[in-house]
Structure 1
């Protein structure tokens, strides 16, 4: 087997399993562990993996921030599938928090189209506007506070948190920048957004992270919860 072919198989295995062990690769390719370590060192220099004790893990990408309009244009099919799965979990007369997330915009549209009678609480401006434009019986409570000056998508900060604390939510759907499955951490891009999400989770009976599967290899700047603290992660690949 050529070296390049072996390297491709190593990367392919890593993509499927998320991590690899030197010993397992040594047995698989009938090579010494030192030879495998040299392979991993070469692949690490190319930025294709990160070496750890006894093996290697996938490299993680840092999130590239995009504004709302740009985010709405990417992974639209995936977002639609995720929104459909989340929508199927909503019961009439329940109180739902939709935080700042392009997927939650899709859920909002589905609620309006289905004429579902629910209470929606949100801090996202576009979600509020969707309900203002629609003929709907949905009761909408809007969380105000400090306008997020970076992207102007919604309200965050201490005043928003005080309002979030005033309610109990049957279910919360939250967006995320990324999930680190190894560390079991879930992150977002801005600190104020992270603090709001923490409070939403604290006051919700059921809490779900809505995220495209490709973000399972992305890290945001600020961790706001762990996998153990939520009920489930919903991706376009999640079985309903």
Structure 2
């Protein structure tokens, strides 16, 4: 495979996912990791992407890697699929928690017609559900402008006062060995508080985050009852999660 062909495949993958990893590209392109690293370096020098440790990201994500709009734009099709599956788990009359993740946000279009209560720390979720049949309870605390979310001690204290039937949470990484991991302690603390007060915990996680270990490991797999992911999740990996008493919907 020539460099030009690899270049197009790399940029296409970046456009779809927002980020790429050397190991995954090496398998996809059927070439060595050394070749992939060299290709990414050349493309970075041409200003087509930004190199990261272990891979690369698009220029927009590099400029503002945590901004909510950037996160929503990546793997959009997979996230919508997950959102639809997740919405099917909600019944009329439920009280649910929805966190500030870009994947959990995709629940909103599919639940606007339901007479339910939603507790959330996500400003986009509040905006999306305003004017619908959903009753919205927004947590108090400090606002993170980039993530468009409420965090902090008061937000956690707010959440502790409510018992929810179902919590829909997201993570930055999930692995059999280390469980749930995040890029921020703030988001991890909200997730733990939500899980502690929920009858059933759903983890909404696209397949690109499976078997990834991020900056802050904060919880074992056992705090999650059901993993909702997309159809690209490897079948053997789904089976391994199932063996760990984790229900998987995809």
Q: Are positions 1:97 and 2:97 aligned together?
A: yes
Q: Distance in 2 between matches of 1:223 and 1:239?
A: 24
Find 1:159's aligned residue among 142, 147, 154.
154
Change in Cα spacing, 1:47 to 1:226, as seen in structure 2 (3 Å) is: farther
Q: 1:194 corresponds to which residue? A: 188
- 1:138 has 2:95 as partner: no
Q: Which residue in the other structure is 2:169 paired with?
A: 174
Normalising by structure 1, report the TM-score.
0.69
Contact kept? 2:204, 2:228, Cα under 8 Å? yes
Cα separation, 2, equivalents of 1:215 and 1:144:
29
Q: 2:222 is matched with which residue?
A: 228
Q: Is the 8 A contact 2:66 2:147 kept in 1?
A: no
For the residue of structure 1 that corresponds to 2:162, the secondary structure is coil
CA contact 2:82–2:103 (8 Å) conserved in 1: yes
Quick one: higher RCO (CA 8 Å, sep 6+), 1 or 2?
A: 1
Counterpart contact for 1:201–1:207, Cα < 8 Å = yes
The CA deviation string for residues 109-151 of structure 1, in whole angstroms up to 9 with x for no partner, is 1111xx111000000000111122x3x22111000101125x2
Separation in structure 1 between the aligned mates of residue 174 and residue 217 of structure 2, nearest angstrom: 9
Question: What is aligned with 1:205?
Answer: 199
Retained in 1: the 8 A contact 2:104–2:168? Answer: yes
| CA RMSD in angstroms, aligned pairs only | 2.8
Q: 2:173·2:182 contact (CA, 8 Å) conserved in 1?
A: yes
Task: Look up the SS of the partner of 2:111 in the other structure.
Answer: helix
Deviations 1:60-109 (A, max 9, x none): 88998432111111111100111111111111100000001112221111
Contact between 1:61 and 1:218, CA under 8 Å: does it hold in 2?
Answer: no
Hey, what does 1:30 align to over in structure 2?
none
SS at match of 2:210: helix
Tell me, in whole angstroms, the C-alpha distance in 2 between the residues paired with 1:229 and 1:217.
17
Superimposed CA distance per residue, residues 147-180 of structure 1 (whole angstroms, 9 cap, x where no aligned partner): 125x241111101010000000100000110112
Q: Which contiguous aligned blocks of 4+ residues in structure 1 show a shift greater than 3 angstroms? A: 43-48, 60-66
Distance 1:146-1:66 versus aligned 2 partners, 3 A rule: closer
3-state DSSP class of the match of 1:108?
Answer: helix
How does 1:208-219 map onto structure 2 within 5 Å? Answer: 208-219=202-213
Residues of 2 paired with 1:47 and 1:226: CA distance? 33
Q: Alpha carbons of 1:178 and 1:191: their partners in 2 closer, same or farther (altered >3 Å)?
A: same
| Range with bigger deviation, 183-192 or 215-224 | 215-224
C-alpha contact 2:178 2:213 (8 A) present in aligned 1: no
Counterpart residue number, 2:143 = 147
Q: 1:61 to 1:163 in 2, by over 3 A?
A: farther
**1:192 to 1:78, Cα distance in 2 relative to 1, 3 A:** same
CA distance in 2, matches of 1:93, 1:223: 34
Q: Which residue pairs with 2:111 in the alignment?
A: 111
Structure 1 spans left out of the alignment, 5+ residues: 1-10, 16-42, 49-59
